[in-house]
Structure 1
């Protein structure tokens, strides 16, 4: 399993309500446990398969993702005003503006939204997750393109409150 795949699993487990996650494939086992004593902390171990009968199984810590640095564009947007709200991606996945290619986008620049308005879909692991606006306001800018891969916490829309 590649480090990037493990990082994506970490993000998905972190966003979920799961306290523990185990994954096994081709003799490799990954166990993730959230540490409820430390805010945002969790433990990840990758178990290396046994080479020969009787040998001890070794566990090696897997590097945890470092917090991403904010791009210059995002810092400029923060300085633009306090009346703007960012709708961010709650997961790693593919951004879609509409439920299907034949249908108009959920929202576009100038669209009015309410807290429960669906603004897009983020597909992760063949699951299509509807993302809601979280606030009442007007879409000022769509920050990603249809079909673009998005990261956890990546801003998708700017909403004028």
Structure 2
């Protein structure tokens, strides 16, 4: 069975190539990729005939224009991004300690653990990351205030991916 990173690399290669369809079979597993107009769709079939859909990969298409207003808007967006990076430099990032699914609350019916503006202590639970049916409570690591929630409920998160920005006290 291919690892997620290997599948992602295959998606990139297929997306960058001129082929429209790609099929890979190995030890009873089958991966089939088809390009559509806006996305590459990947499905994987395991020996037990379970189909697992992987979200479409949509990559932006660069648009070129020779107009001055577009160039100025791009410069302003770059400046805004630089200001945002400078503002977040003094913030603590709570990162995911593993690959898994981000959950903002202990159950779907329960209130979320924290939101922007919530005060947290270093042992406060801020979310759950579920990996292989194990629900791992993630703590704030610092005393402070949640400035921004960077992950969405139910989103797949990677190891080391920032989940929250916290203004330390």
Normalised to the residue count of structure 2, the TM-score between the two structures is: 0.52
- Looking at structure 2, the residues matched to 116 and 74 of structure 1 have their Cα atoms a distance apart, in angstroms, of 32
| Residue 137 of structure 2 is aligned to residue 135 of structure 1 | no
Which structure is higher in RCO with an 8 Å CA cutoff and minimum separation 6? 1
Q: Which residue of 2 aligns with 1:80?
A: 87
Normalised to the residue count of structure 1, the TM-score between the two structures is: 0.55
Long gaps (5+) in structure 2:
8-26, 28-77
Distance verdict in 2 for CA 1:75–1:148, change over 3 Å: farther
Q: Which residue of 2 aligns with 1:117?
A: 124
- Looking at structure 1, the residues matched to 152 and 88 of structure 2 have their Cα atoms a distance apart, in angstroms, of 24
Query: Residue 136 of structure 2 aligns to a residue in which SS?
Result: strand
Query: Residue 146 of structure 2 aligns to a residue in which SS?
Result: strand
Aligned residues: 98
Residues 7-156 of structure 1 aligned to structure 2 (within 5 Å)? 77-156=84-163
- Looking at structure 1, the residues matched to 159 and 145 of structure 2 have their Cα atoms a distance apart, in angstroms, of 23
Query: Residue 120 of structure 1 aligns to a residue in which SS?
Result: strand
Long gaps (5+) in structure 1:
8-25, 27-71
Query: Residue 79 of structure 1 aligns to a residue in which SS?
Result: helix
User: Whose Rg is larger?
Assistant: 2
As a proportion of its length, which structure holds more helix? 2
- Looking at structure 1, the residues matched to 81 and 4 of structure 2 have their Cα atoms a distance apart, in angstroms, of 24
Q: Which residue of 2 aligns with 1:2?
A: 2
Distance verdict in 2 for CA 1:102–1:137, change over 3 Å: same
- Looking at structure 2, the residues matched to 123 and 114 of structure 1 have their Cα atoms a distance apart, in angstroms, of 22
**TM-align CA RMSD:** 2.5
- Looking at structure 2, the residues matched to 139 and 160 of structure 1 have their Cα atoms a distance apart, in angstroms, of 6
Q: State the Cα distance separating 1:83 from its structure 2 match.
A: 2.9
